[in-house]
Chains A and B, each alone.
Chain A
């Protein structure tokens, strides 16, 4: 359970990091909190020649609000969000997701950027940020680009980073107080990777909604227009019209053949919808 030997470097600036990524011979992995990459290194599933520690870069720990968007540096931790050390633009939605990720010692080092780049289909941020409609900001030597999370996550453990690129920040749109949010995951043991995740962001006033069915085999199943889940329209009474058959059909169309698996995912999504329809803020759970 010891990693294969690797070199370690800790660049002090983003420019130095991007230069090193471009020039280093052999395989290179970036590490932030190391809570996803660490197990893979220890199990020798990944054996890079060089590990670049990006936590020394001050810009990756910066947080700011740009208009209606919260910009979180890639190295902001789950505990930073859980403890409210970053501004809340989502009515506590991010905080509730963060507080139920793995365990507190993991949350103290695990980062939002690292979790997204690792792209485990059952990871909380992969699913929650997709449902929220967040973007990622990618930095490379040739400049910056912004991608929606659903285009960033391309498969199980696969993301749309080109060689020499890194995830710099996550851009989370604010949730207005009229927007309903529900996020439910099903774990057999608290803190383990979820077996099913359901997430919905519903704006009844605008008649719009997004839904994500996650912890599936590939990237999460996103319904960018969730109206088919509610009989074709979204309004204040959306929860009562939730159509489990429509969700089941969507999963079947996405290739989930096992009826029991579909049932679990649809049930968890239904719970997320029910949670979204409950207006009073939920008590902060250490884990949901």
Chain B
């Protein structure tokens, strides 16, 4: 970083950027992405923000001359880079041809996608002089338009490509380009400490311990089977002991039991680097005659951003050999919020499979009179208990 840059404000980093040809010093929090740096810091509001997770293409800008997602490029990642936004394409000949074609072909209505669409279209025009309609549609598939149905946009891009081909303009091959992510400079060391977290205080967090609706139509369903080397009656009896079940379920903790068939508590789940702790309430019903039961639960994660609702129907039956049991689980669930936006049902099933395997092992150990083996490494239960305690203390004004 150049010595000419003064010390940035606390929790912010100073960056040298060339934006639309002008050399600038900008300050940003490390967590700010380039879209926010441009819009909030430089008032370049032509870069639009849609989904902010790389899907919609509205924020597409040029980084070192190549299209990139502004929402997935954090401030520190592009220190020293040259950024061109839609405002910087006023005098660009290809963009001028595209603007005229978009106008002529009715390739926009509300205009929200248009800046990103023009940046993406310009890249296609420069790189793919032989592109047919299919190739253009594929090339534009990373930019969503909800008004036009794309027909006008595709016609406009095809027209510009055909015109340039007729004029004998060759494609840009990108041979002079270095390896690595566009906009990322080698050896440009920037650093900034974390800004003081402005977290939602525990007192206002909605730990939705919602009352459970009687009707529930899950979005996803799957089945799971657990085999245990113990008689069905013993297994069914253990499943009636809520404390024992919670102790065997990895990541689960009980915090309250308002009445005999209702429990409150939490479940910490982990998928790779994602950790979510759901807090909520469950109601349990059992039928001794059929050795079956139903658990209906609902909860939300710590910030109240992702929520889940679900039911588990279980039935204990005889196993393959005398004295063994098989527990059939029928799981239905609905997940909303960012976790649902990111996760796919398959990942949840994979996670459920791993939890079920651990659960079965712990149940078996308990039925054999052994303590449930401790989880290796991180102990989610201790972690969660600590978290819940801190939160309860906050609720009761003791923190």
Binding site for B on A (CB under 8 A): 1-12, 29, 31-35, 38-46, 49-51, 53, 55-58, 60-63, 73, 75-77, 79-80, 83, 85-86, 102-106, 108-111, 118-119, 121-122, 155-158, 189-191, 193, 216-218, 255, 257, 285-287
A43 contacts B68, C-beta separation under 8 Å: no
Neighbour of A104 across the interface among B79, B123, B350, CB < 8 A: B123
Answer whether residue B338 sits at the interface, using C-beta atoms and an 8 A cutoff.
yes
Min CB gap B5→A, angstroms: 15
A217 contacts B349, C-beta separation under 8 Å: yes
Known: A6-B31, A8-B190. A156 touches B72 (CB 8 A): no
Answer whether residue B29 sits at the interface, using C-beta atoms and an 8 A cutoff.
yes
Answer whether residue B358 sits at the interface, using C-beta atoms and an 8 A cutoff.
no
**CA–CA, A262 to B68, complex, Å?**
36
Contacts of B75 in A (CB 8 A): 8
Q: Which of A77, A104, A255, A257 gathers the greatest number of chain B CB atoms within 10 Å?
A: A104
Q: Which of A7, A8, A155 gathers the greatest number of chain B CB atoms within 10 Å?
A: A8
Q: Could you give 10 example pairs across A and B, Cβ below 8 Å? A: A3-B31, A4-B31, A5-B30, A9-B190, A10-B191, A33-B181, A56-B188, A104-B120, A106-B142, A108-B68
B69 contacts A10, C-beta separation under 8 Å: no
Q: Which of B173, B193, B272 gathers the greatest number of chain A CB atoms within 10 Å?
A: B272
Residue of A nearest to B31 (CB): A3
Of B50-58, B161-169, B281-289, the segment with at least 4 beta carbons within 8 Å of chain A is B50-58
Known: A39-B72, A103-B141. A109 touches B350 (CB 8 A): no
Per-residue A-contact encoding for B8-51, CB less than 8 Å = 1, 0 else: 00010100000000000000011111001000000000000001
Neighbour of A56 across the interface among B32, B73, B189, B350, CB < 8 A: B189
Min CB gap B301→A, angstroms: 10
Contacts of A55 in B (CB 8 A): 77, 180-181, 184, 186
Min CB gap B43→A, angstroms: 19
Min CB gap A224→B, angstroms: 22
Known: A40-B273, A42-B52. A121 touches B346 (CB 8 A): yes
Answer whether residue B60 sits at the interface, using C-beta atoms and an 8 A cutoff.
yes
Min CB gap A21→B, angstroms: 15
B191 contacts A8, C-beta separation under 8 Å: yes
Min CB gap B205→A, angstroms: 14
B274 contacts A46, C-beta separation under 8 Å: yes
A34 contacts B350, C-beta separation under 8 Å: no
A155 contacts B187, C-beta separation under 8 Å: no
**CA–CA, A80 to B178, complex, Å?**
8
Min CB gap A49→B, angstroms: 6
Q: A35-B54, A45-B273 are in contact. List 10 more A-B contacts (CB 8 A).
A: A2-B52, A31-B74, A31-B77, A35-B69, A38-B71, A51-B76, A77-B180, A104-B120, A109-B181, A156-B271
Min CB gap A228→B, angstroms: 25
A217 contacts B188, C-beta separation under 8 Å: no
Contacts of A5 in B (CB 8 A): 11, 29-31, 194-198
B190 contacts A10, C-beta separation under 8 Å: yes
Contacts of B123 in A (CB 8 A): 104-105
**CA–CA, A119 to B350, complex, Å?**
14
Contacts of A103 in B (CB 8 A): 57, 120, 141-143
Contacts of A105 in B (CB 8 A): 57, 60, 67-69, 120, 123, 142
Residue of B nearest to A119 (CB): B272
Residue of A nearest to B194 (CB): A7
A1 contacts B353, C-beta separation under 8 Å: no
Neighbour of A34 across the interface among B51, B73, B305, CB < 8 A: B73
Neighbour of B344 across the interface among A6, A34, A49, A193, CB < 8 A: A193
**CA–CA, A50 to B194, complex, Å?**
7
B189 contacts A109, C-beta separation under 8 Å: no
Residue of B nearest to A55 (CB): B184
Q: Which of A45, A191, A193, A257 gathers the greatest number of chain B CB atoms within 10 Å?
A: A45
A40 contacts B138, C-beta separation under 8 Å: no
B71 contacts A7, C-beta separation under 8 Å: no
Residue of A nearest to B225 (CB): A257
**CA–CA, A158 to B31, complex, Å?**
25
